[in-house]
Structure formats: C-alpha cells, structure tokens
Structure 1
Amino acid sequence: MSNKYKMSSTELGALWMTYHKKTMILRILEYFIEKADDEEAKNLMSGLWEQLHPKIIEMESMFINEGAVPPKGFTKVDVNLEAPKLWENGFDIMFSRILKEISTGMYALHLTISYREDIIKLYKQLTEITENYYDKFHNIFLESLFFHVQTMSICQVQLILYMINST
C-alpha cells in the first residue's frame, strides 16, 4: 500500500515494539505447542500462531517500504523446543490469556498515536485477533479451572475467583 505520509517517529516506535512483542509471542507459542498435552489447547495456540505470523511479515514490509531496517525480533534460535516443560496443564492457556490482556491495552494505545491508514488498519486487525483469542483462552481457562476446583483448597479457589472478578 502506498502512503501519502512518512511514518511518524511514534508510529515507527510503536510498530517496532509491536514487532518485538509479536515475534516473542510466536516463540512462546511454538514452545507451548510443542509441549502441550491438551489437544484443544494445542489447536487453539496453533490457530493464534497462524493468525499472527502473517502480521509479522506485514510489519516487515512496512519497515522496508518506509526505508527502515526491520528489527531482528525474536527468532527460532531464542527458544529451545527441547527444554523440559516446567509447568502443569493449564499454565500455557492462562499465560496466553494474560498475553492477550496485555495486547488489548497496547493496541488501544498504539492506535491512538497512529495516523496512517495502513498502521491503523494493522492495529485494528491485531485487536480483532486479540479479542477473539482472549475469549477462547478465557473460556478454555474457565472450563479447566472448574474441572480442577475439586482438587483445590478453599483458599486457592477464593484467590482464583478474586483474580477473575478483578479483571
């Protein structure tokens, strides 16, 4: 897409940060997908990866078209897929849900400091992906939470319910 205006420094900075965050999330998802025991969780995280990967390529094109060098970001050498799993079932979904919470706030902020149509469109698309997957991660998290409540102490259940109600 050709643009009438050059990217502003705030747009470039926000896009740079978004690129790093997205490449980091792809690496985290690759590790979670590799270690997932739950097929539903694995499919959900794979779907998110497939939605985000083209956005990385789109951002790289934006940098190049602007005459800027695309950031290196996080690459496959930054994660060891053979490293042992250090969590119990459900952590991957809970963590992914938290990442979507953070993304929601970041896109709202980045959208308000962007002026070019292509950048605004990118953040709107990322927001849509984020809201969609937040709902999916939230629902699967709640399903697994209520399944495991029977094995938790009263204090653990109260803490989790407090955390859910405060978000």
Structure 2
Amino acid sequence: MTVHHPQLTSSEIACFWTSYLNDSMSQCVLGYFLATIEDEDIRPIIQFAYNLSSTNIEKMTRLFQEEAIALPIGFTESDVNLNAPRLYTDPFMLSYIAHMAKVGMLAYGGFVSMSARKDVKKYFMEGLQKTSDLFDKSTDVLLSKGLFIRSPYIPYPTKTDYVDSKKYLSGYSLFSKQRPLNAVEISHLYMNGLTNQIGSKLSLSFAQTSPNKNIQKWMLRGRDISQKHLKIFADALNNNNVQAPVSADVSITDSTIPPFSDKLMMFHMALLSAAGTGNYATSAAASQRTDLVLNYERLSLEVAIYAKDGADIMIKNEWMEQPPTTSDKDKLAKKKEK
C-alpha cells in the first residue's frame, strides 16, 4: 500500500494554529496554578494538564518546523508571573480545569472531523482521548470533595409518547401555561449556567489584577454579562420548579498583583466568549420551546458584541495574532503590473 504524505490542508493548518495558541496559554495558566496550589489531592490533576499542554507544544513545534510553516507567537514565560501571590482558591483551580477540559473535548472533536492526513487525525484523536482522561480525573476529584455540581434530577419516565400539538413548541401564550421543560432543555440551561459561573469569576479576577483601566472596564462588563445570563438561565429553571446550579466554593482571593499579562487575559476571555457563543447555538438548536430559543439568540448577540469590543482592544495593543491566510491574488497581480 502506497503511503501518501501530502501537505497540510487549510483546515489542518487552522487546527494546529488554534491548538498551539490554546496550549501555550494553558501552559502559562497551569504553571501558575502549580506554583500556588495547596491541596495535594488536586496537584496531580494540574500536573497532568500541564504536562499535556507542554507535550502538545513540543509536538506541534516539530510539525511546524518539518512542514516549514512559521511558528505562531502564542504565549511564553513573559506572559505569566509565577511569583505572583495566590489569586485563586484550590476548588476554583479544579473546577476551572474540568470546565476547560470540556471546552477542549469539543475543540478536539471538531479538529478530528476537519482533518484528512493520517498523522494529523492520529494527533487530534490522541488529544481528544487525553483531554477526556483529564475531564474524568478532574471530575472524580470534584466528586470526592463534594464540589461537583450535578445537573437537576427529574422523575424517571415510565412511558414514551409523541408530541401531539404545536403548542409544545410555544414558549409564550396568553391563554395557556408554558409546558414544563424537557430533559434536553434542562441540561443545556444547567450547562450554560455553570459556564457563566466560571466566566464571571475569571473575568472578575482579571479585572482585579489588570493595571489597564480600559481592560478593567471591559472585564467587569464581562462579569456583569455572565451574571445577567446566569440569572436568566436560573430563572428559567426555577420557574419550572427545577433547582438551578448552585456554585461550590469557586472563588478568588483579594490579590491585585497580576499573574498574567493583559494579552493573555484578553485572549482567554475571547476564547471563553467563542466557546459560549458555540454553546448557545447548540442549545438553541436543541431546545424546542420558542422562548428558550429566542433567549439564546439574543444572548448570543450580546456576547458577540462584547467579543468584538474585546477584539478592538487587542488589535489596538497589537495583541491579536493573525491566523494563517491565503494570498491576495488581486494584490499580487497589481504588484506584478507595476
């Protein structure tokens, strides 16, 4: 059997470029976690995650070199201060890793589906497996410490049935009560509530430590948006007599000394905003009550506007790294004519 080794496709380049930025950021964050963690039950989880990011960076660096592709700038030791005082509590670090592992599993699943070359698919499939292992390990420790926030319970279904009325899809009615939430809708409301809890705490910690007034203002705006969205999701659950997720002790300290560069903090919030928009789109598609769908759509727009304003700050400060792009054929043609 002939083994072909074609050059990377645009999709594969995009996947590696995105992975490199994400892993280099994670290496900085996790390195700081390792320097400040106190709970020895949690330390192995952070070390596992740190080793995973470091190994990924080494592998991707070799691949970029072999393919003669410019290595992304990403994030380095200059973007983290390992001597900064403790900013996050141990439960927050553990919850953060479990959350980012979920984001990573979704990303790797997409990378696998966009890859064609055998070695590329193997790399991303291994990444998916190891990130799944990280999620499994982190949730096991969360469970053992009573910190894992379970989704709400509902009665077991005792029979199956079909939807027999268009009213099932309606979220608003002047003449009838809204139907109860189904299990799919509850699961998405719960998940989005948890992600906004993490986002709220993280943006507050970044506002608390950034020396830049504009970034402080933008981060606090992100905190407010997360809390607003969290209340909307919690109200939707509570109005249906379903318990909204209650945060465990996932808090930050009073330190105002920045452990991370403004560039890294802005990139991190951009990453969370993108993940949140994707979650809302998935939730809207999965939900069957129109009021929920409309909520997800309008909240997605709010996140998109927030992310755009953040991108403007990054561009102004020359922090936004440009993705690999195709050449401008019109520009090349005009240059040749001259």
* TM-score, reference length from structure 2: 0.42
1:67-146 equivalences under 5 Å are 67-145=68-146
The one-letter amino acid of 2:35's match is: E
Kindly state the Cα deviation for residue 53 of structure 1 after the two structures are TM-superposed. Answer: 1.5
The one-letter amino acid of 2:245's match is: L
For 1:81 and 1:3, the matched residues in 2 are separated by 45
For 2:53 and 2:126, the matched residues in 1 are separated by 10
The root-mean-square deviation of aligned C-alpha atoms, in Å, is: 2.0
Kindly state the Cα deviation for residue 109 of structure 1 after the two structures are TM-superposed. Answer: 0.5
Tell me the secondary structure at the aligned position of residue 74 of structure 2.
Answer: coil
* Structure 1: gaps spanning 5 or more residues: 148-156, 162-167
Q: Deviations over 1:11-45 (max 9, x none)?
A: 10111000110111111110111100101211221
The one-letter amino acid of 2:115's match is: S
**Residues 31 and 3 of structure 1: CA distance in aligned 2, closer, same or farther (over 3 Å):** farther
The one-letter amino acid of 2:21's match is: H
Identity %: 24
The one-letter amino acid of 2:144's match is: E
The one-letter amino acid of 1:86's match is: L
For 1:40 and 1:146, the matched residues in 2 are separated by 13
Tell me the secondary structure at the aligned position of residue 26 of structure 2.
Answer: helix
1:1-167 equivalences under 5 Å are 4-145=5-146, 159-160=245-246
For 1:76 and 1:30, the matched residues in 2 are separated by 10
**Residues 89 and 52 of structure 1: CA distance in aligned 2, closer, same or farther (over 3 Å):** closer
Q: Deviations over 1:73-132 (max 9, x none)?
A: 111110111222222231000001111000000000111111111111110111111011
For 1:65 and 1:33, the matched residues in 2 are separated by 32
**Residues 143 and 69 of structure 1: CA distance in aligned 2, closer, same or farther (over 3 Å):** same
* TM-score, reference length from structure 1: 0.83
The question of whether the paired residues in 2 share the 8 Å contact of 1:31 and 1:81 is answered with yes
**Structure 1 stretches of at least 4 aligned residues deviating more than 6 Å after TM superposition:** none
For 2:89 and 2:12, the matched residues in 1 are separated by 39
For 1:9 and 1:75, the matched residues in 2 are separated by 26
Kindly state the Cα deviation for residue 47 of structure 1 after the two structures are TM-superposed. Answer: 2.2
Paired residues, what number? 151
The question of whether the paired residues in 2 share the 8 Å contact of 1:19 and 1:59 is answered with yes
Kindly state the Cα deviation for residue 158 of structure 1 after the two structures are TM-superposed. Answer: 5.5
Structure richer in helix, relative to its length: 1
Tell me the secondary structure at the aligned position of residue 69 of structure 1.
Answer: coil
For 2:67 and 2:128, the matched residues in 1 are separated by 23
Tell me the secondary structure at the aligned position of residue 115 of structure 2.
Answer: coil
For 1:11 and 1:73, the matched residues in 2 are separated by 18
The one-letter amino acid of 2:85's match is: P
**Residues 142 and 76 of structure 1: CA distance in aligned 2, closer, same or farther (over 3 Å):** same
Kindly state the Cα deviation for residue 146 of structure 1 after the two structures are TM-superposed. Answer: 5.1
The question of whether the paired residues in 2 share the 8 Å contact of 1:104 and 1:131 is answered with yes
Q: Deviations over 1:119-165 (max 9, x none)?
A: 11110111111011101111111222359xxxxxxxxx96238xxxx
The question of whether the paired residues in 1 share the 8 Å contact of 2:42 and 2:90 is answered with no
